[in-house]
Amino acid sequence: MKLARWGARGAERPGLIDAKGNLRDLSGHCTDLTPDMLAADRLSRLAALDPASLPLVPGEPRLGVPLDGIGSIIAIGLNYRDHAAETGLALPAEPVVFSKHRSSLAGPYDPLAIPPGTEKLDWEVELGVVIGNAAWQVSEDQALDHVAGYCTANDVSARDWQIERGGQWIKGKSGPGFCPLGPWLVTKDEVADPQALSLSTHVDGRRKQNGTTADMVFPVRALVAYLSRFMVLEAGDVIVTGTPAGVGLATGRYLYPGAVMEVEVAGLGRQRVVVG
């Protein structure tokens, strides 16, 4: 299934994308898409619905973050071999872990304002992994059993805040709109192999990133297992799993007012964000 939330910010309603790409209203079957809806039995009930029986949503409403009530946003740095190479850094022996503040969440088409005080706003297309049930010290073999689905993510980064302000990457990763998610949450049954997905970024129509999740240093199952050694991953937590080569940091060319930033993970949808 492709699950979405639509409507004005703070008043989103649940929806489902049918096989023809139409947005259908799920309000008659759930009040919202929240972490408790990621339980296997609840997802099964939604999957059993005939999409044609659901009301069509007219027009082109705003799409919001595809899950309400996200708890933690856990991010992984230097997790693509080509990205580590372009930064001149060695591949990490263990995953590089940081976090993004929940206030950075945004819908896939919401505009992004460049915050005062940064001149180095960058893009990072990423595969987002949505936890469906709690994971504590699970093995790699068990790890994907705790995943509900996947989404396109963009780890927007103020590089000057991240690198030039005394460490603590969270400072450069957490501004308003720095974590667009969606347009949909795609349940894991529709993703045959999370390590076989292409990723891309375009800025003003020019390709900046062109990668594949096969290039990850630590694949999804390894990341879930690794993180679960140190923390309880809870339903609704999101792991953003790293970015391939082609970020602005590598060339010193960053986002600017009026730029149109499009990021996409194959099968998970494309975002389009206008920078202001």
Q: Given a cut of 90, is residue 84 above it in pLDDT?
A: no
CATH architecture group of domain 73-274: Alpha-Beta Complex (3.90)
Of the pLDDT bands very low, low, confident and very high (cuts 50, 70, 90), residue 269 is: very high
Average pLDDT score over residue span 110-139: 98
Express each pLDDT in 252-264 by its tens digit: 999 999 999 999 9
| pLDDT-derived band at 87, boundaries 50, 70, 90 | confident
pLDDT bin (cut points 50, 70, 90) of residue 58 is very high
pLDDT at 168: 86
pLDDT of residue 89: 84
Q: How confident is the model at residue 210 (pLDDT cuts 50, 70, 90)?
A: very high
Q: Is the dihedral of CA 5, 1, 156, 143 positive or negative?
A: positive
Convert the pLDDT of each residue in 59-74 to its tens digit: 999 999 999 999 999 9
Global pTM exceeds 0.85: yes
For the chain, the domains span 2-53, 73-274
